[in-house]
Amino acid sequence: MIGPLRFLGLDTPLERARVAILGVPLERTVSWRGGPAQAPTVIRAASDSIELYSHLFRCDLRPIGVCDLGDVDPHLPMEEMLALAEREVERLLRLGKGVVVLGGEHTVALPAVRAASSQGPLQVVALDAHTDLRDDYGGERVAHATVLRRVEELASRLVIVGARSFVGDEVDEPVFAKPGELPSRLDPGLPVWLTLDLDALDPSLCPGVTNPEPGGLSYPEVIEIYRALSRFRVVGMDLVELAPPFDPSGVSAVTAAKLVLEGIAAFWGR
């Protein structure tokens, strides 16, 4: 008999793990293509196709210790899902764990950042094709299209990389940066939370997302961003907006799983 599906099949007990994975399969405010509630399970399944060793960061994940805690109950009301995710991320951070949140829609970044910012000043790096800086969307202040506005209200600084879809004059806001500018925009004394919306990647590489946008980042560009962030203290990351039904090939899910693996290796493999 085997237990629940786990990322890379890893099952280090939490007390011995350096990294904890939490799924938050939220799908309540999506505005176009659905499916992100399926993403945590699909990413875990896709991880079965990749190796445990990162040749890019010369790191084997087994000695790190990764504990997959499973998912927040997707049947709870949205407010309860977000509150439960926030409490769990805060608990893990207080235990000194690196945290990986598998979404779900981008809204799940908000409770994670709330939890991390409760520990002290925090800077947030967002990889996203869209700005997500609306003050409200469809009459709601908490939604996938407002999440980075809410994050900006919590964080000491927010830097968005990969944005190429804007609303009004958002393009003039000072939060946007090119990949190579990222290190100079961050404070080396503050911890970092990375929120990675998969639509930041070009849709030719990762078509299975809720809102694809042409002209995105390449996979090597994302890895270079990881390398840059590895020089800072990254306390956690989330990966969001995978829409498995829109990529039957499974390539997008494998890309998501690989980005989680490389993130763990880059940020907590030293």
Question: Could you read off the pLDDT of 9-45 as tens digits, one per residue?
Answer: 999 999 999 999 999 999 999 989 999 999 999 999 9
Distance CA 133, CA 129 (A): 12
Residue 40, token pair as written in the block: 């945590």
91-112 mean pLDDT: 98
Distance CA 178, CA 84 (A): 34
pLDDT of residue 127: 98
For residue 58, the SS3 value is coil
Contact 243, 36 (CB under 8 A): yes
8: left (phi over 0), alpha (psi -120 to 50) or beta: left
Mean pLDDT of the chain: 96
- CA Rg value for the chain: 17
219 pLDDT more than 80: yes
CA 209 to chain centre: 13
From 18-22, 103-107, 172-176, the region with the lowest mean pLDDT: 172-176
Give Cβ neighbours of residue 15 (< 8 Å, ≥ 6 apart): none
172 pLDDT more than 90: no
Span 118-139, pLDDT tens digits: 999 999 999 999 999 999 999 9
Residue 210, token pair as written in the block: 């809720």
pLDDT of residue 1: 62
pLDDT of residue 3: 74
Q: Please state the pTM of the whole predicted model.
A: 0.97
270 pLDDT more than 90: no
- Domain 7-268 matching CATH 3.40.800.10: the answer reads yes
71-86 mean pLDDT: 97
149-158 mean pLDDT: 98
- pLDDT band, very low/low/confident/very high, at 168 (cuts 50, 70, 90): confident
Identify the CA nearest to 206 among candidates 111, 129, 92: 129
Span 198-217, pLDDT tens digits: 999 999 999 999 999 999 99
